[in-house]
């Protein structure tokens, strides 16, 4: 399989993204949960220290409710105004670090930054909870009888 | 024809005098995308208002704008709401003389609900009237504030635990009306926050209420609470329709309101007295409304709260016997009101919620199921003088379309599965239907074109709660795939995302 055209496409889209961010900076602003900005430079760990740990996932699930995540992402993270977090698909990337950073620093389009409220370990447990959710057996096709 | 879109709130002006209806102009404001995550229930917009050569409307991110109707030039833009506190602004403004009246959503984010009056010429905020809190902020002044049923001062403060009112909700996201002879504006307030009622003992005035104010300075003249200590998310944001009806043989200037709580209220709009209150859908949270006291007679087994567990089968569901999203219509010819209704009930499991600014403040899990008969909705005709249903057409899905009734005794409405229908206003018999492709959650209009013909127009594009709940309808985000709604698993078969204005010549 020749991967060169794919790599080219990624480069082009990255260039477009950079241009857009520069020309419309306010559209990258974040909401801070509780009005508290996350401290800089701490959300950079790359691996989830609790990956696969059921106990941590249970704690993460409680945090998911207590921090009102379910108010936007729905009970069981099935999706509401915020996207589904249990479909195995990730708008901002699904690696350990991607999910952590989305929670810690927030995302434009209304995902609040929780890094000012929650210690990194608590966020990693939420990441653990989300990673252990069983994706539904959905396939790209939906059909009816 | 002016059309405002959901986020990002583009305003289009179509030239209806030319073939193909080309655009005359469009206006594309900058709108903060963070509003998408602060708006509780999809990125909808409830419409624009034309006044004094201006189109006035709200952007989702807490701004009101005025645009020159002829050119599309922005005349002013005013920040009215604070996203960081959970306030968003899908509501349609009401313009009364030189006042622009606006409110904010956020009953699911623990806002401190308010109504504001702006100067139409400049956009300057002239007054702010809170819906809950001390009389000085509610603009309830001794001598001018005369509620029909309540006595005493500081009602919107003493009906709350200390300080809880500050995040008590009472958003304004529905519709406002104006009576020029009484010089009163009427509007309904949304739910108290959070959904778990045990965190807010008391009546929680003036949430789930109708308020009558002076447009000039916001002074509160009367108020009435439909659902005291709301325990079911029964916003009273539905429209207040002003009509002259003979009630018990006496001509009355009334206000008619179809509440989420399932009761239709016919009220004296000068005083706030309830004349008639009858259920227009299946109701079981209350047995009736006592018009002598103005209070519902609540079934205590349907009261909710974190300590009460999962309360099963509460009717109607929190989507409402009628949604405030779907305004009713009144025909003085038939004397009847026409409205879309939901035939749905819910289970309600409240949990303790913590307010964190910028995040939801809800505290309940509330799955829905169909009410008696199994159909999820109906379109009905209502006699508001007698408090009786006259006819009903059942629909397989919840009906979230506004209604339009014409002098030809034809009533129009759309369905969630993408039909636009015309029915005989006297009998309900469906005369015509057309598949518009996407669910209708907008309000049809009628007008006389430049060619002298009568037209009917409707915006087709499923949105709001049903769009979010029937997750498999959406197809705009490859990183977001959801299962169907368990109570209507096949809706995605009949509707897709839309966004088209259909225009029909009669």
Residue pair B324/B175 in contact (Cβ under 8 Å)? The answer is: yes
- When scoring B86, B111, B196, B356 by the number of chain A Cβ atoms within 10 A, the one with the most, hence best to mutate, is B356
pLDDT band at A44 (very low <50, low <70, confident <90, very high): low
pLDDT band at A42 (very low <50, low <70, confident <90, very high): low
Enter the tokens of residue B210.
């109708």
Of all residues in chain A, the one with the smallest CA distance to B367 is A75
Residue A19 predicted with pLDDT over 50? no
Which of A41, A47, A28, A75 lies closest to B367 in space, CA to CA?
A75
Q: Which tokens go with B277?
A: 């209150």
Whether B191 is catalytic is: yes
Q: What percent of chain A clears pLDDT 70, i.e. is strictly above it?
A: 77
Beta carbons of A111 and B354 less than 8 Å apart: no
Q: Is A85 on the interface with B (CB under 8 A)?
A: no
Whether B108 is catalytic is: yes
For residues B263 and A121, give the distance between their C-alpha atoms in angstroms, rounded to a whole number: 50
Q: Does A78 touch chain B (CB under 8 A)?
A: yes
Total domains, chain A: 1
- Across the interface, which of A71, A108, A138 has its CB nearest the CB of B33? A108
Q: Which of B35, B169, B347, B360 to mutate to test the interface with A (most CBs of A within 10 A)?
A: B360
Bond before B219 cis per omega within 30 degrees: no
Provide the pLDDT for residue A22. 35
On whether residue A80 sits in a domain, the answer given is: yes
Domain contains A4: no
User: Which one from B150, B203, B230, B233 is the annotated catalytic residue?
Assistant: B233
- With beta carbons less than 8 A apart as the criterion, state whether A129 and A57 touch: yes
Q: Which of A67, A82, A87 sits opposite B356 (nearest CB)?
A: A67
User: What's the Cα-to-Cα distance from A140 to each of A6, A130, B472, B481, rounded to whole Å?
Assistant: 21, 21, 11, 9
The partner residue sitting opposite A112, judged by closest CB among B36, B358, B479, is B358
Nearest residue to B454 (alpha-carbon basis) of B400, B403, B498, B410: B410
CA distances (Å), origin B359, targets A90, A100, B131, B148, B315: 21, 18, 21, 37, 28
Chain B CA closest to residue A77:
B482
Q: How many CB atoms lie within 10 A of CB B158?
A: 13
Q: What is the pTM of this model?
A: 0.93
Write the CATH number for A68: 1.10.760.10
The residues pairing with B277 across neighbouring beta strands, listed in sequence order, are: B265
Any residues with CB less than 8 A from the CB of A128 and at least 6 apart, and which?
A48, A50, A51, A52, A53, A56, A57, A60
Q: Within an 8 Å CB–CB cutoff, is residue A37 touching chain B?
A: no
Distance CA B189, CA B111 (A): 12
pLDDT lower than 70: segments of chain B: none
Extract the tokens encoding B431. Answer: 């005369």
Position A50 scores a pLDDT of 97
Distance between CA B408 and CA B340 in Å, rounded? 20
pLDDT band at A14 (very low <50, low <70, confident <90, very high): very low
Would residue A30 count as lying in a domain?
no
Question: Within a domain: residue A107?
Answer: yes
- The pLDDT confidence band at residue A142, using thresholds 50, 70 and 90, is confident
Q: Looking at chain B, which residue has its C-alpha nearest residue A108?
A: B34
| Residue A112 in contact with partner chain B when CB distance is under 8 A | yes
Pairing of strands B263-268, B250-258: antiparallel
pLDDT of residue A141: 83
Contact B174, B91 (CB under 8 A): yes
- The number of residues making up chain A comes to 145
Closest in B359, B365, B482 to A84, CB measured: B482
Find the helix or strand (DSSP H, E) in which B109 lies: none
What CA–CA distance (Å, rounded) separates B238 from B129? Answer: 19
Residue B469: closest C-alpha in chain A: A80
Task: Give a yes or no: residue A145 inside a domain.
Answer: no
Q: State the pLDDT at residue A31.
A: 85
Q: With cut-offs at 50, 70 and 90, classify the pLDDT of residue A27.
A: low
Range of the domain at A83: 46-136
Q: Give A91's strand partners.
A: none
Q: What is the DSSP string of B318-385?
A: TT-SS-TTS--EEETTTTEEEEEEE-EEEEEEE------TTS----EE--EEE-TTS--EEEEEEETT
Tell me whether residues B468 and A81 touch, CB distance under 8 A.
Answer: yes
A95 within a domain of the structure (yes/no): yes
Q: How many helices (H) and strands (E) does chain A have?
A: 5, 0
Identify whether A94 is part of a domain. Answer: yes
Active site residue B131: no
Across the interface, of B33, B42, B481, the residue whose CB is closest to A89 is: B481
- A54 touching chain B per CB within 8 A: no
The pLDDT value recorded for residue A138 is 66
A23 domain-assigned: no
């Amino acid at each position: 399989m020749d991967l060169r055209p794919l790599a080219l496409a990624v480069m082009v889209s990255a260039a477009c993204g950079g241009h857009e961010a520069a020309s419309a900076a306010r559209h990258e602003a974040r909401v801070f949960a509780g009005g508290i900005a996350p401290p800089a430079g701490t959300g950079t760990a790359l691996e989830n220290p609790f990956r696969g740990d059921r106990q941590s996932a249970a704690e993460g699930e409680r945090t998911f409710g207590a921090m009102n995540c379910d108010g936007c992402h729905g009970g069981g993270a099935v999706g509401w105004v915020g996207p589904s977090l249990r479909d195995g698909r990730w708008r901002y990337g699904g690696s350990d670090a991607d999910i952590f950073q989305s929670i810690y620093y927030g995302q434009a389009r209304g995902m609040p930054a929780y890094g000012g409220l929650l210690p990194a370990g608590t966020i990693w447990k939420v990441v653990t909870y989300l990673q252990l959710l069983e994706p539904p057996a959905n396939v790209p096709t939906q059909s009816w009888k | 024809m002016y059309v405002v879109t959901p986020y990002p709130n583009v305003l289009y002006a179509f030239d209806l005098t030319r073939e193909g209806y080309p655009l005359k102009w469009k206006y594309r404001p900058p709108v903060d995308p963070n509003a998408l995550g602060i708006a509780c229930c999809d990125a909808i917009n409830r419409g624009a208002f034309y006044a004094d050569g201006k189109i006035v409307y709200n952007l989702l991110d807490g701004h009101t704008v005025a645009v020159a109707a002829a050119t599309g030039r922005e005349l002013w833009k005013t920040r009215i709401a604070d996203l960081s506190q959970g306030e968003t602004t899908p509501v349609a403004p009401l313009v009364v003389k030189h006042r622009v009246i606006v409110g904010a959503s956020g009953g699911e984010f623990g806002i401190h609900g308010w109504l504001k009056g702006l100067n139409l010429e400049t956009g300057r905020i002239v007054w702010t009237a809170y819906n809950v809190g001390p009389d000085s902020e509610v603009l309830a002044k001794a001598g001018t504030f005369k509620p029909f049923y309540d006595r005493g001062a500081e009602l919107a403060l003493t009906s709350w635990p200390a300080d809880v009112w500050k995040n008590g909700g009472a958003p304004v996201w529905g519709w406002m009306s104006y009576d020029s002879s009484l010089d009163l504006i009427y509007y309904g307030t949304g739910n108290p926050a959070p959904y778990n009622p045990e965190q807010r003992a008391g009546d929680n005035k003036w949430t789930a209420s109708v308020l009558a104010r002076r447009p000039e300075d916001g002074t509160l003249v009367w108020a009435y609470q439909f659902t005291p200590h709301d325990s079911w998310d029964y916003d009273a944001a539905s429209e207040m329709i002003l009509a002259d009806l003979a009630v018990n043989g006496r001509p009355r200037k009334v206000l008619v309101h179809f509440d989420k709580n399932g009761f239709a209220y016919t009220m004296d709009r000068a005083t706030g007295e309830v004349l008639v209150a009858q259920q227009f859908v299946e109701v079981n949270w209350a047995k009736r409304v006592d018009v002598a006291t103005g209070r519902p007679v609540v079934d205590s087994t349907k009261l909710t709260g974190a300590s009460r567990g999962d309360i099963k089968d509460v009717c109607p569901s929190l989507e409402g016997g009628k949604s405030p999203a779907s305004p009713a219509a009144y025909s003085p010819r038939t004397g009847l009101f026409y409205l879309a209704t939901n035939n749905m009930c819910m289970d309600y499991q409240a949990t303790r919620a913590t307010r964190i600014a910028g995040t939801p403040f809800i505290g309940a899990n509330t799955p829905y199921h169909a009410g008696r008969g199994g159909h999820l909705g109906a379109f009905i005709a209502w006699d508001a003088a007698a408090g009786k249903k006259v006819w009903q057409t059942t629909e397989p899905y919840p009906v979230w379309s506004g209604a339009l009734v014409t002098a030809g005794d034809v009533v129009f409405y759309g369905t969630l599965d993408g039909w636009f229908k015309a029915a005989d206003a006297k009998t309900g018999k469906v005369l015509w239907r057309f598949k518009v492709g996407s669910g209708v959650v907008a309000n049809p209009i009628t007008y006389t074109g430049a060619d002298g013909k009568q037209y009917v127009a409707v915006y087709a594009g499923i949105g709001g709660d049903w769009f979010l709940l029937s997750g498999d309808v959406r197809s705009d985000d490859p990183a977001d795939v959801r299962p169907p709604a368990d109570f209507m698993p096949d809706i995605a078969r009949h509707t897709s995302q839309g966004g088209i204005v259909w225009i029909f010549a009669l």
